[in-house]
Amino acid sequence: MGTHLVVALAYDQLCTFEFGCVTELFALERPELGVDWYQFAVCAGESGPLRAAGGITVTAPHTLKLLDRADTIVVPGWRDADEVPPEPLLRKIRAAHQRGARLCSICSGVFVLAAAGVLDGKTVTTHWRYAAKLQQRYPHVSVQADALYVDEGQVITSAGSAAGLDMLLHMVRRDYGSAIANRVAQRLVVPPHREGGQAQFVPRPMPHDESGRLAKLMDWVREHPGLPHTLRSLAERAAMSPRTLQRQFHDATGLAPYEWVVRERVAVARELLETPSPLPLARIAELVGFGSEESMRRHFRRIALTSPAAYRERFSHQMRGQGTHVDQ
């Protein structure tokens, strides 16, 4: 990973929050993690002075030529969703995509990738305010308007602003495993993974749970993933009707209760698979509540986009201190 070069794009009217998220994740040295961290650099997406939100000016030390050897390129927003990005930038992004570089966007940065033509046939996301415009302008792209981020393998896109942190932590999790990503999130003082999608942030009336029953229920489930949770048993524990629980769960997380439970079980399974001496898959399936190895494989592949065995093979050696790499 020490040779993996992450390049952030700087441009005139730069979105400073999104750019700051990228530098915070990848530019800081992290010797406490005990792994070879990313290399990081910034390139100018265009010539001329680069002004940024907040009244500052940015001087990028590299030109677009740096994109020719970047392993990961991050587009931290774009100044205007209605403005076509400069053609030299689009050419570099197309070339990077063709050679297998990983392309990532935060918020309106997806319009840069879409203009380059590298999103056709893919599922992406962006800020909910831009979703309809993106879908209308690029009909060959499938826009998932309620997602915090969407990982298509070589291309990863996120929703607005803070969702960029979710995506960037996901990238760390994908490259180094959950244990490392959790430690990075701890240093950032943010959750290592937020459940649900950005639908929960679209302005609309939200239920007020004065007793905190839903939060208490979620904490309890996280502590007891192996129990045979059902909608009825969860509703009884929260002292709600099943219908009320379903409604409040969806309003708070964007997910049905059972889907949230499944994702929690997959998260625990990932941690168990990353331990230096991992348990047999059948035992992990039992501990996290899937009941059978087959059930765990099915849900794990759907959510983690790989099999439990492949996940363990990819990360167990890194947990033993032997390093890792990124598959492009």
Which tens digit of pLDDT belongs to each residue from 32-91?
Answer: 999 999 999 999 999 888 999 888 999 999 999 999 999 999 999 999 999 999 999 999
The whole-number pLDDT of residue 200 equals: 46
* pTM flag (> 0.75): no
The whole-number pLDDT of residue 323 equals: 39
The whole-number pLDDT of residue 315 equals: 64
Residue the block writes with tokens 């005990």: 34
- Rounded (10°) CA dihedral 106, 109, 114, 118: -60
Q: Which two tokens stand for residue 178?
A: 């959950």
Domains and their CATH numbers in the chain: 5-188 (3.40.50.880), 205-319 (1.10.10.60)
The whole-number pLDDT of residue 146 equals: 79
CA distance 104 to 158: 8
CA distance 107 to 127: 5
Amino acid at 7: V
pLDDT tens string for the chain (328 positions)? Answer: 558 999 999 999 999 999 999 999 999 989 999 999 999 999 999 988 899 988 899 999 999 999 999 999 999 999 999 999 999 999 999 999 999 999 999 999 999 999 999 999 999 999 988 999 999 999 999 998 878 899 999 999 999 888 899 999 999 999 998 889 989 988 888 877 665 556 545 454 444 454 578 888 988 998 899 999 999 999 999 999 999 999 888 877 778 899 999 999 998 998 888 877 778 999 999 999 998 999 999 999 888 778 888 888 776 544 444 333 333 2
Q: Are 110 and 157 in contact (CB under 8 A)?
A: yes
Residue the block writes with tokens 């992290």: 30
Q: Are 76 and 13 in contact (CB under 8 A)?
A: no
Angle value at C-alpha 180, between 178 and 184, nearest 5 degrees:
110
* Nearest one of 75, 81, 77, 89 to 42, comparing CA atoms: 75
The whole-number pLDDT of residue 320 equals: 45
| DSSP class of 118 | -
Q: Are 267 and 259 in contact (CB under 8 A)?
A: no
Q: How are strands ordered across the β-sheet holding 149-151?
A: 39-44, 5-10, 72-76, 102-106, 155-158, 149-151
Amino acid at 190: V
Tell me the CB-side half-sphere exposure of residue 148, using CA atoms within 13 A. 19
Q: Are 270 and 178 in contact (CB under 8 A)?
A: yes
